[in-house]
């Protein structure tokens, strides 16, 4: 939803003649996002996936190291590990939160475990205190993927502030968007410097074209940053709209049998419904793919949940996660989808979605 000062800032950017990286809007966005999340350093990049690639590279894990990761997540969380021959160790999801099952983390820790990657999913943060306690106990790094959760808080503290290194996404469906973009957040100056280097091809200050590491061109343009700065100014409105949409959907859908609704607020955080998902209970005679097709016939667009990492064809081809099973993530992958929930959605449109969904479900029960 672009209704702030985006056009004004873009015009300023174009008039300045500086539209590529390292412009004033890039620096301002890094400063404002790091301040908003309570971090010392913000390093802008071209996407949330780029942020994860750079973060993993900057942490300098070694081949054979293990990082604990939820299996229910986007592939961007696992692919940087696989590319660097780091071993992703998976845990299942928790139906009470739709996040990783934190009760399963400790049993997966071995002498090779170096980090826990937490991923706040769909609008509710992970319960971070137990994770932080485990990390301290076992001397593990926390990598926090806060791609979906800028603006969310855990016990009053901003998401994006809990990792030794944290990442954000500014993709078009996020609470703050730059169209495409992301950011790395940390409090360690050396880690910030390594991140800046990796996002910029590992150029050296004195000998620019002499390289000691392999980096990427993952810089954010000044144009993208201009949009992001305007978006950050109105994030509180976006959050209110998302929460209002989620609460109304819960009311509309609460009586439909066989539908598992998103988790309610927890003592440590409110749910801001980044997207509004539903899971089809096993008694319903259809999976998410079937329901999505039927809703599409009625003019209602939907999207599926993440497909579990242990069932990804590319990882099976690489003989990863052999004979592993994670029942909750498998249920969510097969029977989970999210409904239209953009910030411009009207109550009338939500009512139409709910009525159509109820009719489709009734026909299947």
Q: What are phi and psi of 224, to 5 degrees?
A: -60, -40
The arrangement of secondary structure in 236-362, i.e. its CATH architecture, is Alpha-Beta Complex (3.90)
The arrangement of secondary structure in 6-233, i.e. its CATH architecture, is 3-Layer(aba) Sandwich (3.40)
First to last CA, the chain: 38
What 3-state DSSP class applies to 84? coil
Alpha-carbon distance 123 to 118, whole Å?
A: 14
Radius of gyration of the chain (CA): 21
pLDDT tens per residue, range 81-103? 999 999 999 999 999 999 999 99
DSSP string, 216-246: -B-PPPHHHHHHHHHHHHTHHHHHHHHHHHH
| Nearest alpha-carbon partner for 123 in 154, 163, 77, 155 | 154
pLDDT in tens, the chain (365 residues): 778 899 999 999 999 988 988 899 999 999 999 999 999 999 999 999 999 999 999 999 999 999 999 999 999 999 999 999 999 999 999 999 999 999 999 999 999 999 999 999 999 999 999 999 999 999 999 999 999 999 999 999 999 999 999 999 999 999 999 999 999 999 999 999 999 999 999 998 888 999 999 999 999 999 999 999 999 999 999 999 999 999 999 999 999 999 999 999 999 999 999 999 999 998 888 999 999 999 999 999 999 999 999 999 999 999 999 999 999 999 999 999 999 999 999 999 999 999 999 999 987 76
The answer to whether domain 6-233 and domain 236-362 are alike in fold is no
Q: What are phi and psi of 184, to 5 degrees?
A: -105, 140
Q: List the domain boundaries for the chain.
A: 6-233, 236-362
């Amino acid at each position: 939803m672009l209704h702030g000062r985006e056009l004004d800032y873009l015009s300023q950017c174009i008039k300045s003649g500086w539209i590529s990286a390292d412009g004033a809007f890039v620096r301002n966005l890094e400063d404002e996002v790091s301040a908003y999340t309570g971090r010392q350093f913000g390093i802008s990049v071209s996407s949330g996936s780029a942020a994860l690639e750079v973060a993993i590279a900057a942490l300098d894990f070694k081949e054979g190291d293990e990082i604990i990761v939820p299996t229910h997540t986007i592939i961007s969380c696992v692919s940087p590990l696989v590319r660097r021959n780091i071993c992703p160790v998976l845990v299942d999801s928790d139906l009470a939160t739709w996040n990783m099952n934190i009760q399963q983390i400790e049993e997966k820790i071995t002498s090779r475990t170096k980090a826990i990657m937490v991923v706040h999913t769909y609008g509710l943060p992970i319960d971070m205190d137990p994770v932080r306690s485990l990390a301290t106990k076992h001397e593990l790094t926390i990598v926090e993927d806060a791609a979906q959760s800028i603006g969310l808080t855990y016990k009053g503290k901003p998401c994006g502030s809990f990792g030794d290194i944290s990442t954000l996404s500014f993709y078009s469906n996020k609470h703050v968007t730059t169209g495409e973009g992301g950011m790395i957040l940390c409090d360690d100056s050396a880690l910030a410097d390594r991140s800046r280097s990796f996002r910029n091809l590992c150029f050296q200050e004195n000998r620019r074209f002499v390289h000691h590491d392999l980096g990427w061109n993952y810089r954010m343009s000044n144009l993208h940053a201009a949009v992001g700065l305007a978006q950050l100014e109105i994030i509180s409105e976006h959050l209110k709209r998302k929460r209002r949409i989620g609460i109304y959907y819960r009311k509309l859908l609460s009586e439909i049998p066989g539908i598992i609704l998103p988790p309610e607020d927890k003592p440590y955080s409110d749910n801001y419904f980044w997207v509004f998902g539903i899971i089809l209970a096993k008694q319903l005679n259809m999976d998410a793919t079937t329901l999505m097709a039927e809703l599409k016939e009625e003019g209602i667009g939907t999207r599926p949940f993440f497909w579990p990492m242990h069932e990804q064809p590319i990882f099976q081809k690489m003989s990863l996660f052999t004979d592993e099973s994670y029942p909750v993530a498998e249920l969510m992958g097969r029977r989970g989808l999210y409904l239209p929930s953009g910030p411009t959605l009207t109550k009338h449109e939500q009512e139409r979605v709910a009525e159509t969904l109820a009719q489709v479900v009734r026909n299947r029960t």
